[in-house]
Amino acid sequence: MRKGTAAVAVTAATVGAWSLFRTPPGRFKWQPRDPQAPEVALITGASSGIGAEYARQLAARGLDLVLVARRQERLAALAAELSAAHGVACKTIAADLAQEAGLAQVEAHIRTLDNLAVLVNNAGFGTVGRLVNADPARQQEMVALHVMAPMQLAQAALPGMTARKRGAIVNVSSIAAYVRMRGTVNYVATKAYLNAFSETLQIEQRGTGVYVQALCPGFTRTEFHATPDYAKFEPAQYPAFMWLQAGDVVRQSLDALGNGQVIFVPGALYRGLVALLRTPVLGSALMQMAALFG
Ligand code: NDP
């Protein structure tokens, strides 16, 4: 075989194999609300930001909701707003998902649901500062919230979803999964876990009707940066075009469910950035340059 023909054959085989394994067959289909048997979405971290936006958009798509976070009064206000606006049933669970008892409570509730269509593992927070100086308890909370909670809640949801051959699990990750910067060790590492977890789970769930997504937003306007950790962080230092709106992030995420992109990066700017960071040699060179300033 001539060299050119061999190269074309190898490329075609690689692209073929890649698309076979990359694309789960079908797509998550949104169904009109069935008043007799409405579907349910459970959203963690629903008391503000991206999680509250998932609640709004999923209610608008006709799903009943289970809203989870620590601040009960916020959840209750959102539940009342969305029930009135969309006629959906909203249950609230005030739980700290970084603690075993809180996580067990939500896990147990999921196992009682026979109509859970969407699970959004969104609750999360960031810290600033090198691990050597960081509060160990807070770092352990981050690992519990970003790793153990999504894993255990997914495991609770999967038996029902696979039996019904229908379900979507969204794990809210971050473009931080692709970044290596000082002061963010566990944030970066836990978000990288969520990406690997989602990709591998989707491979396991191929053909079952269950779709998995790791949503990787860049800077998004929420309360994320309003904690004492980010006291020195000034959002205005970053140009407006770098800031995403939670509504756009969530709309793109829900529209993309099951489209073959398990890792989903909303917005052209951040899609380009992630592509650059994943480019062999160039990506790691850029990272090393960035680390000089971090
Ligand atoms: P917010 O601070 O606005 O929301 C965080 C949510 O998580 C709140 O509802 C909070 O509720 C909940 N939460 C935090 N800790 C716990 C806990 N221990 N148990 C239960 N719930 C908890 O930030 P975002 O909306 O921006 O963050 C949502 C996700 O998006 C996070 O996973 C974050 O890492 C990710 N992300 C955010 C980006 C951004 O720039 N904003 C960029 C990339 C990713 P409560 O305090 O009531 O418990």
Q: Which residue has the tokens 């807070």?
A: 138
Q: What is the DSSP letter of 146?
A: I
User: In the predicted model, is pLDDT for residue 13 greater than 90?
Assistant: no
The 10s digit of each residue's pLDDT in 124-158 is 999 999 999 999 999 999 999 999 999 999 999 99
Query: From its phi and psi, is residue 29 left (phi > 0), alpha (psi between -120 and 50) or beta?
Result: beta
Of the candidates 187, 193, 211, 270, the residue annotated as catalytic is 187
Q: For ligand 1, say whether the CB of 106 is within 6 Å of any of its atoms.
A: no
The answer to whether residue 11 sits within a structural domain is no
pLDDT confidence band for 276 (50 / 70 / 90): very high
The answer to whether residue 6 sits within a structural domain is no
Q: For ligand 1, say whether the CB of 190 is within 6 Å of any of its atoms.
A: no
The answer to whether residue 65 sits within a structural domain is yes
The answer to whether residue 125 sits within a structural domain is yes
Give the domain CATH number at 267. Answer: 3.40.50.720
Whether 238 is a known active-site residue: answer no
Please spell the DSSP secondary structure of 31-72, one letter per residue.
----TTS--EEEEESTTSHHHHHHHHHHHHTT-EEEEEES-H
pLDDT confidence band for 16 (50 / 70 / 90): low
Nearest of 71, 58, 73 to residue 117 by alpha carbon: 58
**Which atom of ligand 1 is found nearest the CA of 53?**
25
Domain range spanning residue 200? 32-293
The answer to whether residue 15 sits within a structural domain is no
The answer to whether residue 12 sits within a structural domain is no
Whole-number average pLDDT of the chain: 93
The 10s digit of each residue's pLDDT in 230-269 is 999 998 999 999 999 999 999 999 999 989 999 999 999 9
| Count: domains in the chain | 1
Nearest CA to ligand 1 atom 31: 124
Global model pTM greater than 0.85:
yes
Q: For ligand 1, say whether the CB of 217 is within 6 Å of any of its atoms.
A: yes
Instruction: Ligand 1 pocket test: pick from 222, 244, 273 the residue with the most ligand atoms within 8 Å of its Cβ.
Output: 222
Centre of ligand 1 to C-alpha 261, Å, is 23
Q: For ligand 1, say whether the CB of 250 is within 6 Å of any of its atoms.
A: no
The answer to whether residue 69 sits within a structural domain is yes
Mean pLDDT of 177-199: 96
